[in-house]
Amino acid sequence: MINKLTLIGVGLIGGSLVRALRRAQLVKEVIGVGRHVANLELAKGLGVIDDYETDPALAVIDADVVVLAVPLGAMKSIMQAIAPHLSVSTVLTDVGSAKGSVLADAKTVFNDRIENLVPGHPIAGTEKSGVEASFAELFQQRRVILTPHAAISATALGVVRQMWQACGAEVIEMSVEHHDEVLAATSHLPHMLAYALVDTLARMEDRKDIFDYAAGGFRDFTRIASSDPQMWHDITMANQTALVEVMKRFRTDLDQLITAIESNDSVFVQETFERAKKARDAFCDSK
């Protein structure tokens, strides 16, 4: 049982996490932290948090677990604010979508004393933001990746593992580097493509016709371009190296496809589509 959990960032992911922990009866008291009192009042009214603070330093005193569920760009300043107030037994974890930047921030702020830091990333979410979009079932049968580092305490790792399992998630472990490469390809690249596509079309002269006649395929493909721009700005800049590598690889493949279309290479075009359909059908059938 977690007696006191401090949730810094009471939004979609943090809100869903504590809703699920409450449902599993794994937490007694949840203190929320954010910049906007109206949002914290809303979260309190919804029964997501018991109380709140706007000063993260005050909120973490006596906490058993502190969860950082803010955009990646805010992680370091929050770590700096809470560092002097964490007890030696407080477990610190996060839900950020890139892990190398969180680990680097923590190493700097905590002077390498990071045994109680358990970096984590739930592979679940929606294009919506805010506590009003949170729900307890978000992590059911979804994966949560933990990226333990060399200095991690087995106790802290166990606490965070148990927390996510209580939310119905399958917990897996991966190195930070592998996590950032895999997520660059499977999540971050598709978001870049969706944002870039919608932005290109939105700047065309006949954009009104383009959007008027957009059908289901366009909606499916671009749903994720409705995700929060600030959050995706932060993810993009935090996972720069791995993301740029996979984007360049995609650009090469896209250039090849353009060349094949221009030169009427119908074999290349047909084979590309066949390969992609086979891969996607196999992926969807296995889910």
- Told to check if 95 binds ligand NAP by CB under 6 A, we report yes
The radius of gyration of the chain from alpha carbons, rounded to an integer in Å, stands at: 21
- Interface with ligand NAP in residues 214-253 (CB under 6 A): 228, 231, 235
CB nearer to ligand NAP: give 67 or 157.
Answer: 67
- Told to check if 122 binds ligand NAP by CB under 6 A, we report yes
CB nearer to ligand NAP: give 121 or 179.
Answer: 121
Q: Closest Cα to residue 157, out of 102, 228, 91, 87?
A: 91
- Told to check if 69 binds ligand NAP by CB under 6 A, we report yes
Out of 13, 49, 183, 198, point to the residue binding ligand NAP (CB under 6 A): 13
CB of 115 to ligand NAP, least distance (A): 22
How many Cβ atoms sit within 10 Å of the Cβ of residue 165?
A: 15
Tell how far CA 56 is from the center of its chain: 21
- Told to check if 125 binds ligand NAP by CB under 6 A, we report yes
CB of 76 to ligand NAP, least distance (A): 10
- Told to check if 130 binds ligand NAP by CB under 6 A, we report yes
CB nearer to ligand NAP: give 6 or 97.
Answer: 97
- Told to check if 7 binds ligand NAP by CB under 6 A, we report no
Out of 96, 100, 119, 148, point to the residue binding ligand NAP (CB under 6 A): 96
Q: Return contacts of 222-229, CB within 8 angstroms, 24+ apart.
A: 222/194, 222/197, 222/198, 223/127, 223/194, 224/127, 224/190, 224/191, 224/194, 225/191, 225/194, 225/195, 225/197, 225/198, 226/127, 227/127, 227/129, 227/191, 228/71, 228/129
- Told to check if 183 binds ligand NAP by CB under 6 A, we report no
The residues binding ligand NAP (CB under 6 A) are: 8-14, 34-36, 39, 69-72, 74, 78, 95-97, 121-122, 125, 129-130, 228, 231, 235
